[in-house]
Amino acid sequence: MFLGKVVGTVWSTKKTPDLEGVRFLVVHPIDLDKEPTKNIVVVADRLGAGVGEVVMCAYGKAARTAVGDQEMAIEAAVVGIVDRVDVQEDLARSEELVESARELRSK
């Protein structure tokens, strides 16, 4: 699993039949290393996460289980919308993670 911030939505009018009715989000993973990540991940979302929210995402079988279909052609899915992250700031190696935790606490 990984934490990430929803930065966008993917719209697709043509897709395989097993993906009909599934919403897709663009998620920027929150880096746990010192180097900022430049990756994005497209994830399936059945929970209704919105742009700007921090989400927990799963890969592979766990992602397909979360959306309810092991045969679905997805690799990642939202499995939770994060309300709060508590980080021991003096032990955290990522300033981005510390800042995200501060933002969530202030909501």
> pLDDT tens-digit profile of 58-102?
999 999 988 887 888 899 999 999 998 777 766 656 676 777 777
- Kindly state which CATH superfamily the domain 2-105 is placed in: EutN/Ccml (2.40.50.220)
pLDDT of residue 106: 67
pLDDT of residue 35: 44
Give the span between the Cα atoms of 17 and 59, in whole angstroms. 21
pTM of the complete model: 0.77
pLDDT of residue 72: 86
Cα first-last separation, the chain: 24
Q: Which of 42, 27, 29 is nearest to 75 (CA)?
A: 42
The pLDDT of residue 49 is above 70: yes
